Amino acid sequence: MKRDLRSIQDLTAAEIEEVFALAIDLKAKTKRREEHHLLRGRVLAMVFEKPSLRTRVTFETGMVQLGGHAIYLQPSDIGLGKRESVYDAAMCMARWVDLIMARTFAQKTVDDLAAYADVPVINGLSDIEHPCQILADALTLRERWGSLRGRRIAWVGDGNNVCHSWILLAARLGMHMAIATPEGFEPQGEILERTQTDAVETGSEIRVLRDPREAVAGAEAVFTDTWASMGQESEAEGRRRIFTPYQVNRDLLARAKEGALVLHCLPAHRGEEITDEVMDGPQSVVFDEAENRLHAQKAVMVFLAQRSRR
């Protein structure tokens, strides 16, 4: 039996808390320069269809700190579904490595890798979800707040993959989330449907709104992301016109709860979805959030490796 992280919903609420606790412990050991080779001799294959600064550096660094080794596979090395089928690539990699991380365009690629490989597969980003980012985000909030249950957060901008994973996590952990998007850019209805059971159990409230001012009212944390994600470059100019009223700036942040934290998963287009004075201001935890990608992902790798048997 092996475990994967294809979606935030692959983890129970108790397991998410376990990952947080492990990440906090590993972060402390890292700060103390204390050896923590929990994956000594293990190998991680990193499959990239999209480039990324944070994903590559944090997974590769994390694996080294855990005593293992990471192999970077760029698109030309595999060509999933083109040069070689996902099935063949998964079957081969599972014979060679102990974990697979995939940063892909289609969620189906991650799901197929997980279905065919008998080693843990981690979603490093897909068009539907970005679970590693959201675990890092939530870890950043947890370090400051302790329990996340009952906290109010706001998402302003595109209802994209990062937003999707936050919706699923918020419902699972009993957080209240208000999402403000322009018409036609809402999170997928299927994602909202998947939260219903969790929301009933935890008392979570997920709202989709139009007005960003209404969304941030009373929020204890405000999230945003780029208006045009990778692969949407041709839409960038049109999206810029549509999303301009959704910029996270000083005036919008003033409508949130006093001292509300500001998060952005990066890379940021400064002056578009977020202003410099907010991103570099005292309420921003953007770079703490980026740092926590390392620690959250180390915890995920250890968690999955320890619970998986060939």
Active site residues: 103, 130, 133, 225, 265, 293
Q: Are 125 and 160 in contact (CB under 8 A)?
A: no
Determine how β-strand 176-180 pairs with β-strand 206-209.
parallel
Q: Are 40 and 65 in contact (CB under 8 A)?
A: no
Helix then strand count (H, E) for the chain reads: 14, 9
Distance CA 169, CA 262 (A): 18
Nearest to 138 by CA among 305, 292, 298: 292
Beta bridge partners of 153: 177, 221
Q: Are 171 and 165 in contact (CB under 8 A)?
A: no
Q: CA angle at residue 117 from 110 to 87, to 5 degrees?
A: 75
94 CB neighbour count, 10 Å cutoff: 20
Beta bridge partners of 263: 223
250 CB neighbour count, 10 Å cutoff: 10
Q: 40: exposed, middle or buried (C-beta count within 10 Å: 0-12, 13-18, 19+)?
A: exposed
